[in-house]
Structure 1
């Protein structure tokens, strides 16, 4: 009933607290749909993870921006949030409270997304069991990789692809330059 990437997101969100990975999982899933069929509810969930990642790292401006945007999307797409088994009203309230905490200078703390549908709760518990994980764990604030993953991860494949694309563009540019000379 629920897409596997969504369940993986929830496990990463509530157990591993790897918000960067949450972002990666759902962004890949969201982008797998044709552009005109992409649902904004996924963007809202991605933004929640990114906002918490920023807050945990002390990037208050980034956290505030992402969580405010996520809150707007949750309000706008509350029916889609409900279809995903979450309590949209409770999620909106949770995000508003977190924004107030950030504005008041309070430090990061772990949160739980308000799952309300029995089917989602059962699927989430099954996903945790399948991965041999507990159902909830607080953030490990001493793990530098978890806290700074975007700067510490291996990006050689991404950089190689960027270089390849640059070479392709430069080759096309050189081809058009030589065409204009003749």
Structure 2
């Protein structure tokens, strides 16, 4: 199957840099730009897995648990075989992460279960070409990646929210 380059980038980030925030950004943008590709539920599921890993690594187990449960529910509606992942193994992994969150167990990086071995080899080859190590552990990930969402500039979002609140207050008068 011919996979979108953005999905390849997602898989590489997920398994090398462990920049789960970037994984979310990559696939969310692609998903929104390609609503007719028929894979929207799967892209959202992948986003949720990355966000679950992001939250769990930051010890936000409640947020991680919600994301993993949502990803599992999406996986039960749509088969991940269409994007080269093993649905049975992925479901088992998500259930394990849900249980780990509920038990307050230590965080573990996930390695997504590839069904399409050609996709896996393509990702590993591309990662190596970029100088990245496949399967890198989060222990070597810098703090600015682990806490990335807290460091981004959100001034435009805050300004837009304040403007909307002022407009709403004016409309009430």
TM-score by length of 2: 0.86
**Structure 2, unaligned stretches of length 5 or more?**
none
Sort the Cα spacing of 1:156 and 1:126 in 2 relative to 1 into closer, same or farther, 3 A. Answer: farther
Q: Is the 8 A contact 2:17 2:141 kept in 1?
A: no
- CA drift of 1:157 comes to 5.3
Sort the Cα spacing of 1:159 and 1:61 in 2 relative to 1 into closer, same or farther, 3 A. Answer: same
- State how far apart, in whole Å, the 1-side matches of 2:131 and 2:155 are: 31
Does residue 101 in structure 1 map to residue 100 in structure 2?
A: yes
- CA drift of 1:151 comes to 0.6
SS at match of 1:16: coil
**Structure 1, unaligned stretches of length 5 or more?**
178-182
Q: Is the 8 A contact 2:57 2:146 kept in 1?
A: yes
- State how far apart, in whole Å, the 2-side matches of 1:14 and 1:142 are: 12
Q: Is the 8 A contact 2:12 2:124 kept in 1?
A: no
- State how far apart, in whole Å, the 1-side matches of 2:34 and 2:115 are: 26
Please tell me whether Structure 1 or Structure 2 has the larger radius of gyration of its CA atoms. Answer: 1
Equivalenced residue count is: 170
- CA drift of 1:131 comes to 1.6
Residue number in structure 2 paired with 1:30: 31
Please list, as runs of the form range in 1=range in 2, the aligned pairs for 1:109-120 lying within 5 A after superposition.
Answer: 109-120=108-119
Q: Is the 8 A contact 1:84 1:120 kept in 2?
A: no
Please list, as runs of the form range in 1=range in 2, the aligned pairs for 1:161-176 lying within 5 A after superposition.
Answer: 162=160, 166=163, 170=167
Residue number in structure 2 paired with 1:139: 138
- CA drift of 1:159 comes to 5.0
Q: Is the 8 A contact 1:141 1:147 kept in 2?
A: no
Does residue 13 in structure 1 map to residue 3 in structure 2?
A: no
Sort the Cα spacing of 1:44 and 1:110 in 2 relative to 1 into closer, same or farther, 3 A. Answer: same
- CA drift of 1:118 comes to 2.3
- State how far apart, in whole Å, the 2-side matches of 1:106 and 1:159 are: 35
- CA drift of 1:119 comes to 2.2
Q: Is the 8 A contact 1:44 1:70 kept in 2?
A: yes
